[in-house]
Structure 1
């Protein structure tokens, strides 16, 4: 769970508890006041028990109608102001008769915070403090009978100051909570925008993969056209030339045999070139196995043919990747091993296929003679064919990179890194 979600959940939990407490508090305070008053001897209420219970019932109905049954009225300032005045009037009447209703009068503080706004809140605080002071002084009868009006005013003033200070800090806390809620709301909006942007980037990346694949197909066609022109077409022309020469020298058996031999050699070379071209286009190894298994099988067969130790290590979460990603890495492995066999004179080759969250990397390291990378050599000899250029082009089509580290006598390391596009991405 994110920090934003945890904070929102904590705020929501606190608000639910606060709302539940505020809904129950009025009735609880009224019940406490009624209960204590009933437990007192009847003379303490001067025989006005019926009046007290009647006012208590009116107060309960007042709370029920305006506060509990119609919560949608809480945002109507004028209506809530009238409700609050009526609530204080009932509390004052009850406290004047039965001082224990000071518990119920305390309700004026939280209700002022809920129902009033601005300076009217502090007016409600003062009014509640003065009513509570009547309860503290033992009721209106004691104040008027003993002439303790000055004491009542003093107690009310002190209570007003203390309650006003509490209200001030409570308002500050409320403003801080509002700012925190606003910050969380803005953070949520930012996260939504970020998620939308990430989704759009993923879609754009998929489209780029499609375009890259199309560009790769076009490049592959152009490469095949060049290879056919440079190999098969030239070989066929040479075969035709040799056959024509043989036809012109039918009366010379030795010359005919020489021309036929040349034609057959050219045909064999053409067949070899055709097979290499076909194999370069269709990776049969991937048709029947996952990428780690395919590279491992390529390394195993290569090791058997060349009598050089080759081992593959796979790290991370091996998972199906986009076809172009797997083809690029498989071709990189094949070409790198081919270069080792041709030029490196190595005794051992290590391949590492690493699956990371956003990238897939193939590293091929050998302990051969090495070379100077700036001299445009691959494993000790100049790259005469598609070789390194082909590897780099395949990787760069996928917005990846190919890195080569080597030095004379220090072996060679080739690292191909491509985005970890999952299978089906960009299809």
Structure 2
């Protein structure tokens, strides 16, 4: 929206000032009811036909101006201080009357100002001179007023066009950024899909082939077979950019319990899952990120921690969701550790404007904390 200029804000008030201020001086100088009632009637006439008007038809404006001049003649008979009102009429002539009617209105106003309060004994030459001077001054004032109004209107139009261009530019920039981001995500996804397909998926397929061919497999071998099959399924789903299998039919809390139970069974490490707050659906990227962090943290515990117990806490809060994974294992020195797993977890969380922290020390176990905004699912109303 284009902000109104000072002239635009002052213009509606000026006609009332040109009428009511002289009325105040006239009443204070010599109390007469007409000095107050006639200006009030003129102000009401202006309000009804100008401020409240539904049309700016030239005939209506001309009729308004004729009545205005009649009021002006009466006011000049009451007190000469209402000469100031005539100056306001000059301004209104150029503001309201169309084309050459404005100059006719100026001439008529000058005639009223010169003829109505004419002193006895004034010669025709003096009256004509006064009339011409009044018309000249009024024309100069009117032309200045019209120029200001036109410049103000041009300024509004120009600012409006600039705002439209700025909005179009911002919209175009947003589309370009979105397209660039989508293109980058697609390229990265395709690259990762090729890597997973050519390496992990092929290796897991080979492992499953060998395991299926072994008829003497025991319980541990069956566990290895199940893990390899699950890993292959997840690799294929990653290639297809799908949700992790545990999240297909469950919310994050249930999926986290399922992942923890399977990991505990295969690793023979006691694992507990605690949910605080009211579980609720979250955006798919939030749920996937937290589930992947939990899976990676459990994988690290199984490979490095030699822990006897792992505790997982998922906390649903008003604006954020927090995941904590803590074990009683060997711990490590964080400064010396820059494994891919920790880096990948941190990147997943920070990409969602979240916070990722690792608390550990040799012999004191490890705690991993991930906090992300509780973004609702797509299409849900907040």
Identify the TM-score tier after normalising by the shorter chain: 0.5 to 0.7
Q: Once the 2 structures are TM-superposed, how far is the Cα of residue 336 of structure 1 from its aligned partner? A: 1.8
Quickly say closer, same or farther: Cα 1:275–1:221, change in 2 above 3 A: same
Corresponding residue for residue 298 of structure 2: 337
Specify every segment of 5 or more residues in structure 2 that has no aligned partner in the other structure, as ranges: 16-55, 238-243
Quickly say closer, same or farther: Cα 1:285–1:276, change in 2 above 3 A: closer
Q: Once the 2 structures are TM-superposed, how far is the Cα of residue 194 of structure 1 from its aligned partner? A: 1.1
1:321 to 276, 283, 290: 283
Corresponding residue for residue 226 of structure 1: 203
1:68 to 43, 46, 57: 57
Q: Once the 2 structures are TM-superposed, how far is the Cα of residue 286 of structure 1 from its aligned partner? A: 1.2
Do the aligned residues in 2 keep the contact of 1:348 with 1:367 (CA within 8 Å)? yes
**Structure 1 counterpart SS, 2:163:** helix
Quickly say closer, same or farther: Cα 1:353–1:109, change in 2 above 3 A: same
Larger radius of gyration: 1
**Structure 2 counterpart SS, 1:289:** coil
RMSD: 6.1
CA distance in 2, matches of 1:306, 1:294: 19
Do the aligned residues in 2 keep the contact of 1:372 with 1:407 (CA within 8 Å)? yes
Specify every segment of 5 or more residues in structure 1 that has no aligned partner in the other structure, as ranges: 22-66, 72-82, 240-259
CA distance in 2, matches of 1:200, 1:353: 35
Quickly say closer, same or farther: Cα 1:288–1:181, change in 2 above 3 A: same
Quickly say closer, same or farther: Cα 1:330–1:277, change in 2 above 3 A: same
Q: Once the 2 structures are TM-superposed, how far is the Cα of residue 399 of structure 1 from its aligned partner? A: 9.2
CA distance in 2, matches of 1:328, 1:107: 73
Corresponding residue for residue 366 of structure 1: 326
2:111 to 131, 136, 140: 131
Quickly say closer, same or farther: Cα 1:291–1:269, change in 2 above 3 A: closer
Quickly say closer, same or farther: Cα 1:294–1:171, change in 2 above 3 A: farther
Do the aligned residues in 2 keep the contact of 1:312 with 1:350 (CA within 8 Å)? yes
Count, aligned residues:
313
CA distance in 2, matches of 1:224, 1:69: 83
Q: Once the 2 structures are TM-superposed, how far is the Cα of residue 225 of structure 1 from its aligned partner? A: 1.2
Q: Once the 2 structures are TM-superposed, how far is the Cα of residue 329 of structure 1 from its aligned partner? A: 3.6
Q: Once the 2 structures are TM-superposed, how far is the Cα of residue 190 of structure 1 from its aligned partner? A: 0.8
Matched, 1:287 2:248: yes
Matched, 1:277 2:238: no
Q: Once the 2 structures are TM-superposed, how far is the Cα of residue 414 of structure 1 from its aligned partner? A: 4.9
**Structure 2 counterpart SS, 1:413:** strand
CA distance in 2, matches of 1:171, 1:344: 86
Corresponding residue for residue 50 of structure 2: none
**Structure 2 counterpart SS, 1:311:** strand
Q: Once the 2 structures are TM-superposed, how far is the Cα of residue 350 of structure 1 from its aligned partner? A: 3.3
CA distance in 2, matches of 1:374, 1:194: 43
Corresponding residue for residue 173 of structure 2: 197
Quickly say closer, same or farther: Cα 1:195–1:121, change in 2 above 3 A: farther
CA distance in 2, matches of 1:151, 1:69: 31
Quickly say closer, same or farther: Cα 1:365–1:155, change in 2 above 3 A: farther
Corresponding residue for residue 29 of structure 1: none
Corresponding residue for residue 147 of structure 1: 123
**Structure 2 counterpart SS, 1:109:** helix
Q: Once the 2 structures are TM-superposed, how far is the Cα of residue 173 of structure 1 from its aligned partner? A: 6.5
Do the aligned residues in 1 keep the contact of 2:276 with 2:316 (CA within 8 Å)? yes
Corresponding residue for residue 164 of structure 2: 188
CA distance in 1, matches of 2:247, 2:166: 42
Do the aligned residues in 2 keep the contact of 1:112 with 1:124 (CA within 8 Å)? no
Give CA deviations for 1:377-406 in whole Å, capped at 9, x if unaligned. 77xxxx8xxx5577579x49x899995534
**Structure 1 counterpart SS, 2:324:** strand
Corresponding residue for residue 336 of structure 2: 375
Corresponding residue for residue 412 of structure 1: 367
Q: Once the 2 structures are TM-superposed, how far is the Cα of residue 339 of structure 1 from its aligned partner? A: 3.2
How high is the TM-score relative to the length of structure 2? 0.53
CA distance in 1, matches of 2:368, 2:186: 30
Do the aligned residues in 2 keep the contact of 1:303 with 1:309 (CA within 8 Å)? no
Quickly say closer, same or farther: Cα 1:207–1:361, change in 2 above 3 A: farther
Q: Once the 2 structures are TM-superposed, how far is the Cα of residue 373 of structure 1 from its aligned partner? A: 3.3
Corresponding residue for residue 179 of structure 1: 155
Q: Which aligned pairs between 1:1-400 and structure 2 lie closer than 5 A? A: 4=1, 7=2, 68=57, 109-113=91-95, 127=107, 130-137=110-117, 146-147=122-123, 149-150=125-126, 153=129, 157=133, 161=137, 164=140, 168=144, 171-172=147-148, 175-176=151-152, 178-222=154-198, 223-229=200-206, 231-232=207-208, 239=214, 268=222, 271-278=225-232, 280-281=234-235, 283-291=244-252, 293-295=254-256, 298=259, 306-312=269-275, 321-322=283-284, 326-340=287-301, 343=305, 345=307, 348-352=311-315, 363-366=323-326, 368=328, 370-376=331-337, 388=342, 395=348
Give CA deviations for 1:288-329 in whole Å, capped at 9, x if unaligned. 1234553366468878985455434579x965535x664444
Quickly say closer, same or farther: Cα 1:280–1:216, change in 2 above 3 A: same
